[in-house]
Copies of this chain bind each other. A is one copy, B any other.
Amino acid sequence: MPPVDLIVTDATVLTHTEPAAPGYPDDPAARRATAVLLEHHDIGVLDGVIAWVRPTGTTPEAERAGARALDGRGRLAMPGLINCHTHSAMTMFRGSAEDVPVHSWFNDHIWPMEVNMTPRDVALGARLAIGEMLLAGVTTFADHYFSMDEIAKEVSAAGARAVLAPTYFSSEGPAGLDRSAAFAAEWHGAADGRITAMLGPHATYTVDDADLERTARIATELGVRVHIHAAEGMFQTDSSLESRGVTPMQVLHDTGVLEAGAIIAHGAGITPDDVRWLAPVADRIGVAACDKVYLKHAQQSTTPVRLLHDAGVPVGIGTDGPASGNTLSVLESLRLLALVEKQKEADATWLTSAHALDLATRQSALTAGLGDRVGALLPGRRADVVLVALDRPHLQPLHDVAAALVLSVQEADVRTVLVDGRVVVDEGRLTTIDVQEAIDGLTARVPQLRDRSHGRRIQDYAP
């Protein structure tokens, strides 16, 4: 083989995960999810792509000559984490709307404050978010927000990977969808392929069926998917059934959105009956689960992971925006989901740590529409790699690596992060962006951002 340009040496490598079979654990014959861990292995990277994963010491000198070496001893190499649903720039509102129910969060706090927001605020908010995510091992994020050009520029500069969907409402008339489509035409595949575009209709209750149909048509023409809030809780499904006799999933089906391919944000109101709409398109959709936010907003329903699992529909991990979730840590979201699932299903054997890792890697990549590019450390995949220090006191002794990653790890254990083989976090330090500038800029803007004296809001929340 040709020489590589970068090698991670002598790490414990989480190459990929093997999913649990449907029916598990009701069917005792079904196998458990497995995280495939290789001790004392090297990862060779050439031109941003994983060339090989081999036992340490087995690569000929000729194939190693001149390559940059990253010491993996005492470290776990895992696929870059994927945040399947967020509003990154809302770092600017982190902690500004606390201890309120969801209708008040929108109508009394966030939607009035978003009136004040400038494109520069979005740029700074996104830069801070990208820094926070990279430091926590999140190499890809699926974003849904305003001023998306600003966010795309920040992604490009930071060397991160992102799936970007500009948000629009039907209340804007055709302008919103046109803007989202123009963004996709301009940015899809940009930043050396690190930017993937999607269309971003806000939700099934703020974008009407005609606009959803047009969205699906344009998405198909452009070769992109759709990212949309739908069935965020069972209360929305109930409301949709009452007012129009169909579930939000059926709306997505009937308007062609599912056929086009979609990230379904939340889906906590997906019903067993909805599987009929979702299962046939399981190759092009995924549901982003953000359990921290459901708990914080006292929502009684959470994403039905087991139902979706048994239907073969991918479930990805999201954080939601930091104004509701307070962080952008996929590790935190994953841990919460694993714990919540066990209690919700009244089954401590459900959602094992290996299964949780499958959600955070393979299934999150599928959800984000990047199943063939990221989510596994296998030859041919992009070299998005996170090195986690395993020698920390809170992980030791190391009986079970998967459990350590899901239930014990801390974000600061993420030491070094690669995107497309480029070091974007080096021993806990960001190498590509200045987040302090973003923090200072946003801190100075806090009084104006919080001003609600204008009495306006960008929308009314009445799902």
A residues contacting the other copy or chain, number (CB 8 A): 63
Q: A293: nearest residue on chain B (CB-CB)?
A: B339
Are A99 and B348 in contact, with the CB atoms below 8 A?
yes
A403's partner among B95, B294, B403, B439 (CB-CB below 8 A) is: B95
State the oligomeric state as a number of copies: 2
Are B343 and A443 interface neighbours, CB within 8 A? no
Let me know if A393 is at the binding interface, CB within 8 A.
yes
Q: How far is the CA of A349 from the CA of B350 in the complex (A)?
A: 31
CB distance from A170 to the nearest CB of B (A): 28
Q: Which residue of B lies closest to A413 (CB)?
A: B412
A131 and B394 CA atoms in complex are apart in Å by 9
A300 contacts the other chain (Cβ, under 8 Å)? yes
A298 partner, pick from B345, B393, B400, B412, beta carbons under 8 A: B345
Say yes or no: A443-B397 contact (C-beta < 8 A), given A100-B349, A348-B101: yes
Complex Cα distance, B100 from A352, in Å, reads 9
For the complex formed, measure the closest distance between the CB of A287 and the CB atoms of chain B, giving whole angstroms: 19
Given contacts A99-B352, A353-B99, contact A397 B296 (CB under 8 A): no
Most buried by B among A96, A342, A394, A450: A394
- Other A-B pairs, 15, CB within 8 Å; known A95-B407, A99-B353: A94-B396, A96-B399, A98-B352, A99-B348, A99-B349, A131-B393, A135-B393, A295-B342, A298-B348, A299-B343, A300-B343, A326-B407, A391-B439, A396-B443, A397-B439
Complex interface: chain B residues within 8 A of A352 (CB) = 98-99
Which of B96, B294, B326, B393 is within 8 Å of A343, CB to CB? B294
A190 at the interface (CB under 8 A from B): no
Instruction: For A296, list chain B residues within 8 Å (CB).
Output: 339, 342, 348, 407
| Contact of B394 with A298 in the complex, beta carbons under 8 Å | no
**Bound CA–CA A316/B337 (angstroms):** 24
Which residues on A are within 8 Å of B, measured CB to CB? 91-96, 98-102, 128, 131-132, 135-136, 292, 294-300, 326-329, 336, 339-340, 342-343, 345-350, 352-353, 391, 393-400, 403-404, 407-408, 410-412, 435, 439, 442-443, 446, 450
Docked pose: A297 CA to B326 CA in angstroms: 26
**Chain B residue nearest to A297 in the complex (CB):** B348
Q: How far is the CB of A411 from chain B (nearest CB, A)?
A: 5
A348 x B396 contact (CB < 8 A): no
Name 24 interchain pairs, CB-CB below 8 A, sorted by A: A94-B395, A94-B396, A94-B399, A95-B400, A95-B403, A95-B404, A101-B348, A101-B349, A294-B343, A295-B339, A295-B342, A296-B342, A296-B348, A297-B342, A298-B343, A298-B347, A298-B348, A326-B403, A327-B394, A327-B407, A394-B411, A399-B446, A399-B450, A410-B411
Assembly CA distance A403 to B132 (angstroms): 17
Q: Is the CB of B98 within 8 A of A329?
A: no
A22 to B339, CA, bound (A): 30
Alpha-carbon distance A98/B408, docked complex (angstroms): 12
Nearest-Cβ distance from residue A400 to partner chain B, whole angstroms: 4
A96 touches B400 (CB 8 A): yes
Question: Chain B nearest CB: distance from A124 CB in Å?
Answer: 10
